[in-house]
Amino acid sequence: MNYILFDGSSRGQLLPFTFTRPVADIRIGILTIREKWEKLLGTTTSTVTEDYLANKWPMVELEQNVMINASFLPTPELLIQIENLEENQAIFFEEDIVAFYTLEDQEVDFSTFIALELAGEPFQIAHTWDIFSKNGDAIAADFELLTQDRKSQPIPASNNVINSENIFIEEGASVEFATLNASAGPIYIGADSEIMEGSLVRGPFALCKHAVLKLGAKVYGPTTVGPHSKVGGEVNNVVIFGSSNKGHDGYLGNAVIGEWCNLGADTNNSNLKNNYAEVRLWDYGSEGFARTGLQFCGLMMGDHSKCGINTMFNTGTVVGVSSNIFGSGFPRNFIPSFSWGGSAGMTTYKTAKAFEVAEIVMKRRGIEFSEDDKEILEHVFEDSKKWRRD
């Protein structure tokens, strides 16, 4: 069977992260959504996404296909349903199409399909804040998936450890003179990653491959540090997708950080309003601030964005793609993509300069800033023009 992951109706609520990737490539827990599905299905997947992303993430259609809404994470019940789908059957959860069976070049008319109700409780990422607020459950599921019937590398004796059976260390990882407390959730330490001396880690926690916790880092779960990322200071319930750095002191809480981001030394975000009121976040679809139902919500930062030293982000701040923020005071709590400046005012971050920086940053990791990458960011630049004030 050929499996294809499609963006679904939640794509707009997952901006700015879906400006530069399909929904399937959002990281939550240890793995991306695509990696979860591929590991459980035992096969590769392709993607139905926005036209401007399709060159980098093309769709591969075969004679028989199952389309899966990528905002739904795999659960045991859903996996069984999907593996048993037959021709002209579709799985629904309320108004959302979860998955359906289709033949090559078939014109899909759901009024002719047999509608099946989603089995079990849904695990859906429908809003940006779901990424951090549901991260603990995602870490637990991925931990079980990745460690089942496997043996962890030994935990070095220099570490102070609580609930060692809930800690898994992959080959090549380095952990010395740290405190690892897995009593509230599992701790996963990925291949060739490093936890430096003096770090305090409370699970659920995932340190992905080649990632680093710097000296004396303080980490509260549920937190994920994606591949090739570096984290220092204090973090609490944060998801970092990958190849991003918060290398120094400063507080980051209830936040999601995309790829290729850098937070300057002593960057802090507020995650609680002074009046303890519900946090509202910028919603790209309504072009207003949406209710989250959360009392704690910090920073959402899209790919390639950076901030200077001593940057302060207010509660519920959304930063788009490829912005550069600096200066004293609090910037606005919605910063459009390709913005340059801070509380004193913003101008447009020109694409030529932004692309030059992206090429340098990615080259340091041995990754090419490709023509596909450039075309994606050019599209985001044009699409976000209406929100910038030049």
Q: What is the mean pLDDT of residues 319-346?
A: 96
Confidence (pLDDT) at 389: 81
Asked if the model's pLDDT at residue 390 lies above 90, the reply is no
Asked if the model's pLDDT at residue 209 lies above 80, the reply is yes
Q: Which helix (H) or strand (E) holds 34?
A: helix 33-41
Please report, for the chain, the start and end positions of each structural domain, with discontinuous segments joined by +.
2-126, 159-387
231 Cβ contact list (under 8 Å, min separation 6): 211, 212, 213, 214, 217, 219, 225, 240, 245, 246, 247
Asked if the model's pLDDT at residue 287 lies above 80, the reply is yes
Res. 295 pLDDT band, cuts 50 70 90: very high
Q: What is the mean pLDDT of residues 291-312?
A: 97
Which amino acid is it at 219? V
For CA atoms 154, 157, 160, 165, the dihedral sign is positive
Q: Which helix (H) or strand (E) holds 340?
A: strand 339-342
Fold of the domain spanning 2-126: Spore Coat Polysaccharide Biosynthesis Protein SpsA; Chain A (3.90.550)
Res. 335 pLDDT band, cuts 50 70 90: very high
Q: What is the mean pLDDT of residues 70-98?
A: 96
Of the candidates 292, 314, 299, the residue with the CA atom closest to the CA atom of residue 235:
299
- The top-level CATH class assigned to 159-387 is mainly beta
pLDDT in tens, 219-267: 999 999 999 999 999 999 999 999 999 999 999 999 999 999 999 999 9
Residue-averaged pLDDT of the chain: 97
* Residue-by-residue DSSP string for 272-300: B-TT-PPPEEEETTTTEEEE---SB--EE
Confidence (pLDDT) at 217: 98
